[in-house]
Amino acid sequence: MAAEADGPLKRLLVPILLPEKCYDQLFVQWDLLHVPCLKILLSKGLGLGIVAGSLLVKLPQVFKILGAKSAEGLSLQSVMLELVALTGTMVYSITNNFPFSSWSEALFLMLQTITICFLVMHYRGQTVKGVAFLACYGLVLLVLLSPLTPLTVVTLLQASNVPAVVVGRLLQAATNYHNGHTGQLSAITVFLLFGGSLARIFTSIQETGDPLMAGTFVVSSLCNGLIAAQLLFYWNAKPPHKQKKAQ
Q: For residue range 4-57, what is the model confidence (pLDDT) as tens digits? A: 445 676 766 676 677 778 878 788 788 787 788 888 787 777 777 777 777 778
Write out the CATH class of domain 158-236. Answer: mainly alpha
Question: Left if phi > 0, otherwise alpha if psi is -120 to 50, otherwise beta: which for 209?
Answer: left
Contact predicate 213/204, CB 8 Å: yes
The pLDDT assigned to 246 comes to 39
Domain assignments of the chain as residue spans, ordered by start:
158-236
Question: How many CA atoms within 13 Å lie on the side-chain side of 2?
Answer: 5
- State yes or no: pLDDT of 1 exceeds 70: no
User: Which one-letter amino acid corresponds to residue 221?
Assistant: S
Q: Are 175 and 79 in contact (CB under 8 A)?
A: no
Higher per-residue confidence, 205 vs 109: 109
